[in-house]
Amino acid sequence: MTPPLTSPPSTAPLPTQRSEFRQFLRVLFRSPGAKIGGVILLVLITVALLAPVIAPFDPTAMGAGPILKPPSAAHWFGTDEFGRDLFSRIVYGSRLTLMIGVIAVCISMTAGVLIGMVAGYAGGWLEAVLMRAMDVLFSFTETLIALAAVAVLGPSLTNAMIAVGISSIPFYARVTYGAVLVEKNKEYFKAAQAVGAKPVRLIIRHLFPNILSPIIVIATVGVSVAVLSASALSFLGLGAQPPSPEWGAILAAGRDYFKRAPWITTFPGLAIAITVLGFNLLGDGLREALDPQQRRS
Amino acid sequence: MTRYLIKRILGGLLTIWITTIAVTLLIHLVPGDPVQIMYAQSQSTTPEQLEQIRRNLGLDRPIYEQYLMYMGRILRGDFGTTIRGNQPVLDLLLVRLPNTLLLAVSSLLVTMLVGVTAGFFAAYKRGTWIDTTLMTGAILGISIPSFWLGLMLIYVFSIRLGWLPVSGTDLKNLILPAITLGLANAASVSRLTRSSMLDVLSQDYMRTARAKGLGENIVLSRHAFRNGMINVVNMLGLQFTYMMGGAIVVENVFAWNGIGRLAIQSIFQRDYPTIQGFILIFATVVVLVSILLDILYVWIDPRITYS
């Protein structure tokens, strides 16, 4: 479900063949962090896919149990103010979280990589205008951009996803731009240019495959950033709206019963933290595996 | 140095100028009729009244004229009035801005104190259990949502132990929000400090300093720490920006009366004049502080001369 898992290994710069890809995986999962991250994400994806099988109750069914009851054998994570089963809500919420993370990253990655590549390749005034615009956006922080986007579009889950996606565009653009500048001066690129390759071919066939690895790394970590931002928007009431089982929205609704029923706010927060941790650990692992120069003991 | 300063200030002015354009366009990007959306929730207004409002806001004129009008008003310190209550937007923002700055600066102190200490020790004790524990803590720290951390701190320290108030605006109320926002960013600062210190610790001058018989404390404080801090101090401006962004969320957890809380309220109320004012003030503060911190950085590190 995540970009690094679905991107075909044949286009990656390092693993060009099957055996090399296997070797890459071996290097990747040698680090205990990447192992733990991989397991967390595997569990998360399984839970999301099998939600109807795993969840004992309908996530929006009121009166599945008594109201505001602490965790018990019948309701593992307790119940909320409508007697809904919190465990079932969190299980179904994993689908929303993964969807938000992946879609938001797709938006920011597509736009950011495009802007970064065009700016880096074209140079001149186009480069100046695009990158200056990215600098301005970058200095505003993602939170402000996301808030401005929600202020324009109005609060909803879809709009929060779009807002979070837009807010990270400058980051992807900058990383891509930096990578393109390096690649542009390498022999192979100059050779391709010299034999008369057209700009589109140069960008797609030569530049893109070579800047893929840093993009894969930041996209993996990017999912965790997107999940955090989107859940913060939902927490503020600007994202998913009740009765959606989105984790940030559950948490926000639980605030009213915080003293009486702290479990309503505790479990969704834990779920967010564990998910984000999974993507962060895998991202760290990927960075080390793809960039052997980086020293981390 | 002077040239660098001028370039930096011009860049900052450019950013603020672009923001004013973005803020003017903002209201036009709203799908549907912004005036109707703004007043939909407040009171039943007649079409004539809506027309009057549109004229007052200048929305019936061409866009460049609106921009010039808006700029003219802003330069005179008039940010418009709120949709509900007709209060001057600038006053509302300026009353709350010190609260946000206080929160951001206190959090920055927490971030630096915790992040730099953790990163320094992790690097010094590289490969030991101390390093592993600290860096595990750091990756957990960047994964925990700040609003959740805030709520959990409230539960433990305010509800269970009763040590600190749940919310409010006196100084005692600053402790939990500052710790929440500070810890959230300390995690990333500690990772940065660690990698920066690892670089420094492997430098030749470290071996030289030890070889000439300096005590370990002097080697660490005078040679390692100072050089390791250069990268960290360079990140101060960016960290401050993160604090300002994070404050928007944390203010809402603790009902801290800053501009972030006002911003969320005005988004709910579709109060576009306040949202526009908020974005402008936020951008201006972030740009100004970044420039100030950059100057500080050049002043601290004598090796850096921007030409």
The 10s digit of each residue's pLDDT in A95-113 is 999 999 999 999 999 999 9
If DSSP codes are grouped into helix, strand and coil, which group holds residue B81? Answer: strand
If DSSP codes are grouped into helix, strand and coil, which group holds residue A187? Answer: helix
* CA-based nearest distance A228→chain B, Å: 6
Cβ distance A188 to A206 under 8 Å?
yes
pLDDT score of B96: 94
Which chain A residues are within 8 Å of B263, Cβ to Cβ? 147
Higher pLDDT, B160 or B128: B128
Model confidence at A73, in pLDDT bands (50, 70, 90)? Answer: confident
pLDDT score of B306: 54
B156 to chain A, any CB pair closer than 8 A? The answer is no
Q: For residue range A226-240, list pLDDT tens digits in order.
A: 999 999 999 999 999
Cβ separation of A266 and B159 shorter than 8 Å?
no
pLDDT score of B248: 93
* CA-based nearest distance B87→chain A, Å: 20
Cβ separation of B252 and A33 shorter than 8 Å?
no
A72's torsion region: left (phi>0), alpha (psi -120 to 50) or beta? beta
Which chain B residues are within 8 Å of A296, Cβ to Cβ? 195
Best mutation target among B38, B143, B159 (most A Cβ atoms within 10 Å) is: B143
If DSSP codes are grouped into helix, strand and coil, which group holds residue A2? Answer: coil
Rg (CA), chain A: 22
Cβ distance A1 to A45 under 8 Å?
yes
pLDDT score of A9: 43
B200 to chain A, any CB pair closer than 8 A? The answer is no
Percent of chain A with pLDDT over 90: 44
Once rounded to an integer, what is the mean pLDDT over residues A118-123? 88
**Can you list the domains of chain A with their CATH numbers?**
34-54+78-296 (1.10.3720.10)
Between helix A247-254 and helix B146-153 the angle, nearest 10°, is 30
* CA-based nearest distance B307→chain A, Å: 20
Q: Is the pLDDT confidence value at A172 over 60?
A: yes
- Which of B31, B127, B152 lies closest to A297 in CB terms? B127
CA A125, A126, A129, A131 torsion-angle sign: negative
Helices (H), chain B: 2-29, 34-40, 47-57, 63-75, 89-124, 129-143, 146-153, 175-201, 204-211, 216-218, 226-234, 236-254, 259-268, 272-300
CA dihedral B214, B215, B218, B220 (to 10 degrees): 100
Q: For chain A, what is the mean pLDDT? A: 86
Cβ separation of A139 and B245 shorter than 8 Å?
no
B161 to chain A, any CB pair closer than 8 A? The answer is no
* Calpha distance A219→A214 (Å, rounded): 9
- Chain B residue at shortest CA distance from A132: B15
* Calpha distance B200→B192 (Å, rounded): 13
Higher pLDDT, B192 or B38: B192
For residue A184, the one-letter residue type is K
* Calpha distance B151→A137 (Å, rounded): 30
Where is average pLDDT lowest: A61-70, A98-107, A259-268? A61-70
Which chain B residues are within 8 Å of A156, Cβ to Cβ? none
Cβ separation of A232 and B198 shorter than 8 Å?
no
Q: For residue range B258-305, list pLDDT tens digits in order.
A: 999 999 999 988 888 899 999 999 999 998 988 888 787 777 666 665
Q: For residue range B100-150, list pLDDT tens digits in order.
A: 999 999 999 999 999 999 998 898 888 899 999 999 999 999 999 999 999
- Chain A residue at shortest CA distance from B290: A139
Cβ distance A183 to A207 under 8 Å?
yes
- Supply the DSSP string of A64-130, one letter for each residue: SSSTTPPP-SSSTT-B-TT--BHHHHHHHHHHHHHHHHHHHHHHHHHHHHHHHHHHHHH-HHHHHHH
Q: Is the pLDDT confidence value at B166 over 80?
A: no
Query: How far from chain centre, in Å, is Cα B153?
Result: 21
* Calpha distance B184→B144 (Å, rounded): 7
The separation between the first and the last C-alpha atoms of chain A, rounded to the nearest angstrom, is: 30
Q: For residue range A4-20, list pLDDT tens digits in order.
A: 444 444 444 554 556 77
Which chain A residues are within 8 Å of B25, Cβ to Cβ? none
- Chain A residue at shortest CA distance from B15: A136
B145, with CB counted inside 10 A (0-12, 13-18, 19+), is buried
ipTM of the complex: 0.87
- Chain A residue at shortest CA distance from B283: A140
